[in-house]
Structure formats: structure tokens, C-alpha cells
Amino acid sequence: MRTADLFKHKTVFSLEIFPPKPDAPQRVIYDTLEGLTDIHPDFISVTYGAGGGQNGCRTISITSSIISRYHTTAAAHLPCIGLSKEQAAQILDQMQENGIENVLALRGDIPEGKQYSGDFRHADELVSFIRENYNFNILAACYPETHPESSSAAEDLKHLKHKVDCGVDHLITQLFLDNRYFFDFHENALLAGVDVPIEAGIMPVTNKRQIERMVKLCGVELPKKFRRIIDKYEHNKAALRDAGIAYAIDQITELIAEGVNGIHLYTMNDTGIAHRIYDAVHSLILPAMQRNAG
Ligand code: FAD
């Protein structure tokens, strides 16, 4: 199923996973998928390490298993940095041959101290390439707190609008911890004419090192309320996990009540967290008619 069609029926609830390390036994990913597919997510997306290589093969095989073995809609990520058009076409051909219908077209991060390489400078060029040569449903990324390389929110939004016009069907946001960023961004995106569904990316933050890394990498603001939780429970692993899950549930509850198109949960392959969050919010999920009202 094409992910963009899912939004016609209800608030979408989707999950993101990453391929396990190459030396992990194969059972690991099947245990993760069994744990995640039994909550019946609308789709699962699978990350892809920028730069291609072995990791990409695993992204394709895992995405294809989600579809064929678990009968669940799936999307494969594809970062284009460092790829030639021929390499991108080889990967996309392989995705197509493996029954994958949905591709999350990304640029990927430029390694520190390096220049752009490959045939694609930005994700919009990959989106155009896919649109011109294939029949995939195309997803892309967006940033409620502005991408760290952009000099302003307006500039980032201008590029986003162009990317969507190149053929994007559905957007997923970077994680954010303050819903106000999402609401402002969503309103501005609508005003700028971005007319595809935007899913809110939510990451349940359950350890201090993880959040410090995220803040540095993604430029995400830590709200005071969240910082107080981290400071209070940083030495109590179980309490921090509970607090991080409760915070994510709170965020999702407000987003759904405000009519968000969908929630994309960054699971970090933790099935226990995904279950706890899904159990807490699944009864809030709205049919499309109610979602769009008021
Ligand atoms: P772009 O859309 O190219 O934007 C990057 C920057 O360039 C922005 O500042 C934008 O404003 C600017 N820009 C865009 N177009 C133009 C233009 N035409 N001219 C000038 N400037 C422009 N990374 C991975 O390696 N693997 C993954 O699996 C992965 N999954 C992700 C999933 C989600 C939902 C998100 C939000 C991010 C993911 N990332 C992943 C990270 C992503 O690759 C980085 O955030 C990267 O820095 C930007 O990717 P992008 O596709 O948003 O790039």
C-alpha cells in the first residue's frame, strides 16, 4: 500500500526501525519485527546508512520481509549523498524487484569536514530522479525546528516546498520535544502551499546520552520541563525510561487531539517502548472525518 493513501482513512500510526549491526544474529531483527507488527502499525520504515554499502542490502531485505512475511506496509529509506545516478538506479531497481512501493528520499548527512559528493546535492534532486524514472510513493523529511544547515526557517521552508513540488507524497518530521514547534511549522507549511500529509516524528527519550547526542546532531531544543525530568532521573534508569515514555505519550495525546495527520514513532528497535506507547494512545486515534473537523 502507498503510505500517502493511509491518511485518507485515519490518524496514521507508524514506526521506524534500523537494521541491526552486521554481526547480530538474524533472529534479532525477526524478534523486533514480531514485537512491532503485533501492534498493527499502519506502516514501518527502515533506515539506511548514508554512503550505501552492506547496510543498504539489509534495509532492502528487512523492508521486503515486513511486506511479505508480516503483511505490513513498509517504506525503505534512501539517502543519496555520495551516490551516482547509476548507483541510485541500481538500488531503486532492487527495491522495486523486492516489492517495495514506498521510498523515503533523503540527502543524508555530509560527513564532518567533507564536501558534497555524488550526483545529488539535495534530496529534491533524488525526489525528481525517482519521480521521472519510477512509480514509487515518495516520502521525505522535514524539520519543525529548521534544518541545522539552513540560515532561517523561511529558507528551509522554501526548499521544502520545492522538494514537495518535485514529487513528494508524504512528509515525516525530525523529532521534536516541544509541540509548539510542530504546530507553528505545520501552519507555516500549509500557508506556503505544502499540501501533502505531514507526520509528526516522536522519539521517546529514555537515556541522557541519547538525548545529548540528538540535541547536538539535530539542533532540537530541550524544553525546561523535559530538562527537569532528565536531571532528576538521570541516575535511575527505570525511572528515566518511565518518564521518557510518559513524556512521549503526553506529546502524542496533544498532537492527535489537535488533528495531526499521523504519528511516526522512532522506536530505536525497542519493542517494549513501542507497545507501552501504542497501548496508551491507540484509543485516541481518529477516523479521518473527525481528525479534520474543528
Ligand atoms: P535536504 O532536503 O536536502 O535538506 C538539507 C538542507 O539543505 C536543508 O537545510 C535544506 O533547507 C537545504 N536544501 C534543500 N534543498 C536545497 C536546494 N535545492 N538548494 C539549497 N539548499 C537546499 N539519514 C540517513 O543517513 N539515513 C536515514 O535512514 C535517515 N532517515 C531519516 C528519517 C527522517 C524522518 C529524518 C527527519 C531524517 C533522516 N535522516 C536519515 C537524516 C537526514 O539524512 C539528515 O537530516 C540530512 O542532513 C538532511 O536530509 P534531507 O533529506 O532532509 O535533506
122 ligand 1 Cβ < 6 A: yes
Contact present, 238 and 267 (Cβ < 8 Å): no
Contact present, 70 and 97 (Cβ < 8 Å): no
List of domains in the chain: 3-284 (3.20.20.220)
Greater pLDDT, 291 or 181? 181
Rounded to an integer, the average pLDDT of 211-238 is 90
Looking at residue 213, its pLDDT comes to 86
Q: CB neighbours (10 Å) of residue 110?
A: 14
Which of ligand 1's atoms lies nearest the C-alpha of 77?
A: 28
Q: How far apart are CA 96 and CA 136, in angstroms?
A: 8
Contact present, 42 and 262 (Cβ < 8 Å): yes
171 ligand 1 Cβ < 6 A: no
| Banded pLDDT at 53 (limits 50, 70, 90) | low
159 ligand 1 Cβ < 6 A: yes
Q: Whose CA is nearest to atom 42 of ligand 1?
A: 108
Q: Whose CA is nearest to atom 24 of ligand 1?
A: 108
By most ligand atoms within 8 Å of CB, the mutation choice from 81, 95, 122 for ligand 1 is 122
Rounded to an integer, the average pLDDT of 197-219 is 90
| Banded pLDDT at 211 (limits 50, 70, 90) | confident
pLDDT tens for each residue of 13-33: 999 999 998 888 888 999 999
pLDDT tens for each residue of 99-137: 999 999 999 988 777 777 899 999 999 999 999 999 999
- Say if residue 294's pLDDT is above 80: no
Q: What's the whole-model pTM score?
A: 0.97
Looking at residue 202, its pLDDT comes to 98
Greater pLDDT, 137 or 234? 137
Is 155 part of the annotated catalytic residue set? no
The end-to-end CA distance of the chain, in Å, is 29
Q: Which run of H or of E encompasses 103?
A: strand 102-106
Q: Whose CA is nearest to atom 21 of ligand 1?
A: 159
Greater pLDDT, 24 or 254? 254
- Say if residue 54's pLDDT is above 60: no
| Banded pLDDT at 291 (limits 50, 70, 90) | confident
